[in-house]
Amino acid sequence: ISGCQPAPEGYSPTLKWQQQQVANFSAVRQSLNKHRNHWRSQHLDSNVTMPKSEDEEGWKKFCLGERVYSEIDVLSDNENLGIDYLKVGFPPLLSIVSRMNQATVTSVLEYLISWFGEKKFTPELGRWLYALLACLEKPLLPEAHSLIRQLARRCSEVRALEESKNEEQISALNLIICLVSRYFDQRDLADEPS
């Protein structure tokens, strides 16, 4: 399918909501660009070791954490003693994403989209996708262009199959589709406002 599947009945975002998300996203991008050099100069915590650009498995584990990556749902009793980022994944902190060049942003986006092609949508994945989209420079390179279209279509597929109508998840998927279609000018993928 070239376009996106329509939102489930009653879950299509309004045009006003979509415009607000694009405005918020635009502000996030401007702030990121303005402060990129500052964040890049901050020291990363000693426990943060960013994978090499071509290390697909390393990036998936870094972003999503061992738990999501290995699809482990169980928590052992002694796990609430603090956050183990190796288990839960590193959040897309400014000090991390500011160090990523466009080639790395595109590679990591590709790794996460390919992961998402076969796995379920998680909050960790959503945060990283949003952050990576915020770091993508316009005009888009053809590869990035193709990737974000693939991402929007996958979000629409997952959203159409969402049986429990988890509003938080549908909102997150709507947001990604909205940003790809309206901010990155892929209008043919946009949700028709309800």
137-177 confidence digits (pLDDT tens): 999 999 999 999 999 999 999 999 987 778 899 999 999 99
- How many domains are contained in the chain? 1
- Is the residue at 106 inside a domain? yes
Q: Name the nearest CA neighbour of 96 among 62, 64, 123, 68.
A: 62
DSSP state of 53: T
Q: How far apart are CA 84 and CA 126, in angstroms?
A: 19
45-60 confidence digits (pLDDT tens): 888 899 999 999 999 9
- Residue 157: which CATH number? 1.20.58.1070
User: What pTM, to 2 d.p., does this model score?
Assistant: 0.91
Give yes or no for a contact between 191 and 6, defined as CB atoms under 8 angstroms apart: yes
Residues of the domain holding 106:
15-44+96-189
Sign of CA dihedral 46, 48, 50, 51: positive
- Is the residue at 71 inside a domain? no
Which tokens in the block code for residue 69? 């990556």
- Is the residue at 145 inside a domain? yes
- Is the residue at 19 inside a domain? yes
Mean pLDDT of the chain: 90
Give yes or no for a contact between 126 and 163, defined as CB atoms under 8 angstroms apart: no
- Sequence-distant contacts of 173-176: CB under 8 A, at least 24 apart: 173/121, 174/7, 174/11, 174/13, 175/21, 175/130, 176/126, 176/129, 176/130, 176/133, 176/151, 176/152
